């Protein structure tokens, strides 16, 4: 069934013929290859235009970029292009889409578990650097909502690849308990110019001129902290920390979480000269509870497993040890996006992180990321 292109560069993918009395969109729904919304038909022309925009490292359509779970299926540049077309992406987004695939499937991101376990983790994608401007991404008003084509299709393209190539079909191998909007797509760019801090990718070791896709594994969001009255960085962080304390279950701990700070909240931090390290330190302080208050309680519900004191042989002194909402300050990830009219910070949380409470040196979180090559 393989077909070759006259000029030798294109597709080995099977050609599917849709009769003229069939509706193309309905046909694709019937084939089970959509995410529940209509997809753009991946015609040869569209796929070729996508392939033509591949970066120089990915010139061969049959080159394997990644092995996609749950079936650990090889994703070729060609299959990536087909699914990117279906997601509605423009060819110029293709380098960013391939970087997102590399970040997701490179081994650092828990891609297999995000599909095959019930947690319903999905990658939240943050794009930094000049490429976000070149492809017209939105970091302003409604940056995490609908409406912008690049923001909307980057995440969707990856999701379609996971479904169509990896075999992640809800109810079959995919097991998310409830899912959420983030399971379709959740991509945004950072307002690097307005941020009081260095851009997110620079914080994580890239050059300012690099363009980078970074991923945070989240179970949902936004949990919005709207605080229009705090005038100091400390008061504002207290407010955000109390909102954060409630995520998942108030007594439990959580894995890395993204805080998206709006420009007006960023102003408060700028005015007081607060660094991200100051914010992390304050959140650790404000959410700290003695370990015994993070244990599952008969009246206040779940927390660290009730058997932990026995299992780890915890002393009374250890039970008084303060334990914050996250095991390590690096779990608090911060970026800036949104309109300039609103004092607003959104929390996109990870999954429960109630590990061994005696662990002295919890791991440091480094967001899975990849450079966008053009």
Partner 1 sequence: MVTQILDPTDERVPIKRSLTPRPEALHGTVALLDISKPRGDVFLDRLEQLLHERAPGVETRRYMKPTVAKPAPEPIKQAILEECDFVIEALAD
Partner 2 sequence: MHDTVFFELQGKPSVFVATSEFIKAASHQAERLGLEEVRRVFIPHPMQDRTNAEMHEHAERFIDEILDTLMAPVD
The site for partner 1 (CB under 8 A) is made up of 1, 11, 13-20, 24, 28, 33, 41-44, 47, 71, 73-74, 78-79, 82-83, 86, 110-114, 117-118, 160, 164-167, 305, 307
Among partner 2, partner 1, none, residue 193 binds (CB under 5-8 Å by kind) = none
User: Between the CA of residue 36 and those of 171, 253, 318, what are the distances in Å?
Assistant: 14, 34, 50
Determine contact, residues 326/256, Cβ cutoff 8 Å.
yes
Least CB distance to partner 1 at residue 30 (A): 13
Among partner 2, partner 1, none, residue 316 binds (CB under 5-8 Å by kind) = none
Encoded tokens for 312: 């780890």
Least CB distance to partner 2 at residue 5 (A): 30
Among partner 1, partner 2, none, residue 172 binds (CB under 5-8 Å by kind) = partner 2
Determine contact, residues 42/86, Cβ cutoff 8 Å.
yes
Candidates 176, 177, 157; CA nearest to 166 is 157
Least CB distance to partner 1 at residue 14 (A): 4
What phi, psi does 9 have (nearest 5°)? -100, -10
Least CB distance to partner 1 at residue 346 (A): 25
Of 172 and 207, which has the nearer Cβ to partner 2?
Answer: 172
Of 173 and 319, which has the nearer Cβ to partner 2?
Answer: 173
Which residues are bridge partners to 371 per DSSP?
212
Among partner 1, partner 2, none, residue 130 binds (CB under 5-8 Å by kind) = none
Least CB distance to partner 1 at residue 244 (A): 22
Among partner 2, partner 1, none, residue 171 binds (CB under 5-8 Å by kind) = partner 2
Among partner 1, partner 2, none, residue 57 binds (CB under 5-8 Å by kind) = none
Q: Would you list the DSSP string of 307-368?
A: THHHHTT--HHHHTSEE-SSSSGGGEEEEE-S-SS--EEEEEE--B----TT-SSPPPP---
Of 17 and 316, which has the nearer Cβ to partner 1?
Answer: 17
Least CB distance to partner 2 at residue 115 (A): 10
Least CB distance to partner 1 at residue 164 (A): 4
Q: H or E segment at 244?
A: helix 233-245
The long-range contacts involving 238-242, CB below 8 angstroms and separated by at least 24 positions, are: 238/282, 238/286, 240/283, 240/345, 240/347, 241/282, 241/283, 241/286, 241/287, 241/325, 242/286
Among partner 2, partner 1, none, residue 28 binds (CB under 5-8 Å by kind) = partner 1
- The DSSP output letter for 246 is T
Residues that bind partner 2 (CB under 8 A): 70-72, 112, 116, 118, 167, 169, 171-173, 175, 307
Separation between Cα atoms, residue 133 and residue 47, nearest integer Å: 24
Bridge-based pairing of strands 257-261 and 344-349 is antiparallel
Least CB distance to partner 2 at residue 119 (A): 12
- The DSSP output letter for 139 is -
Among partner 2, partner 1, none, residue 283 binds (CB under 5-8 Å by kind) = none
Least CB distance to partner 1 at residue 20 (A): 5
Among partner 2, partner 1, none, residue 41 binds (CB under 5-8 Å by kind) = partner 1
Of 173 and 242, which has the nearer Cβ to partner 2?
Answer: 173
Of 114 and 346, which has the nearer Cβ to partner 1?
Answer: 114
Of 63 and 175, which has the nearer Cβ to partner 2?
Answer: 175
Of 167 and 179, which has the nearer Cβ to partner 2?
Answer: 167
Q: Which position has the token pair 């911060």?
A: 334
Q: H or E segment at 95?
A: helix 94-105
Of 111 and 154, which has the nearer Cβ to partner 1?
Answer: 111
Of 61 and 70, which has the nearer Cβ to partner 2?
Answer: 70
- CA 313, distance to chain mean position in Å, is 37
Encoded tokens for 11: 């597709």
Residues 6+ apart with CB under 8 A from 311: 305
């Amino acid at each position: 069934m393989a077909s070759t292109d006259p000029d030798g560069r294109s597709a080995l993918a099977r050609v599917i013929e849709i009769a003229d009395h069939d509706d193309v969109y309905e046909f694709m729904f019937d084939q089970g290859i959509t995410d529940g919304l209509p997809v753009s038909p991946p015609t040869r022309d569209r796929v070729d235009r996508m392939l033509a925009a591949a970066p120089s490292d990915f010139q061969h359509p049959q080159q394997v970029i990644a092995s996609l779970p749950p079936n650990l299926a090889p994703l070729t540049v060609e299959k990536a292009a087909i699914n990117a077309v279906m997601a509605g992406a423009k060819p110029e987004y293709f380098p960013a889409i391939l970087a997102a695939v590399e970040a997701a499937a490179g081994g650092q991101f828990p891609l297999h578990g995000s599909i095959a376990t019930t947690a319903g983790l999905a990658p939240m994608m943050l794009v930094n650097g000049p490429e976000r401007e070149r492809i017209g991404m939105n970091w302003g008003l409604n940056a995490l909502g609908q409406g912008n084509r690049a923001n909307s299709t980057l995440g969707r393209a990856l999701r379609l690849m996971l479904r169509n190539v990896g075999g992640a079909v809800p109810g079959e191998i995919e097991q998310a308990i409830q899912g959420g909007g983030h399971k379709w797509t959740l991509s945004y760019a950072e307002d690097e110019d307005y941020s009081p801090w260095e851009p997110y990718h620079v914080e994580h070791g890239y050059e300012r001129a690099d363009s980078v896709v970074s991923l945070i594994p989240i179970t949902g969001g936004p949990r919005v902290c709207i605080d229009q009255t705090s005038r100091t960085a400390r008061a504002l962080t207290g407010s955000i920390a109390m909102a954060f304390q409630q995520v998942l279950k108030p007594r439990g701990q959580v894995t890395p979480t993204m805080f998206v700070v709006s420009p007006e909240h960023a102003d408060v931090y700028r005015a007081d000269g607060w660094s991200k390290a100051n914010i992390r330190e304050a959140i650790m302080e404000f959410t700290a509870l003695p370990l015994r208050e993070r244990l599952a309680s008969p009246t206040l519900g779940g927390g660290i497993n009730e058997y932990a004191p026995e299992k780890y042989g915890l002393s009374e002194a250890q039970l008084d040890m303060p334990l914050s909402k996250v095991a390590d300050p690096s779990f608090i990830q911060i970026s800036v996006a949104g309109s300039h009219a609103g004092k607003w910070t959104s929390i996109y949380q990870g999954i429960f992180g109630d590990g061994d409470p005696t662990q002295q040196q919890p791991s440091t979180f480094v967001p899975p990321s990849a450079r966008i090559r053009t």
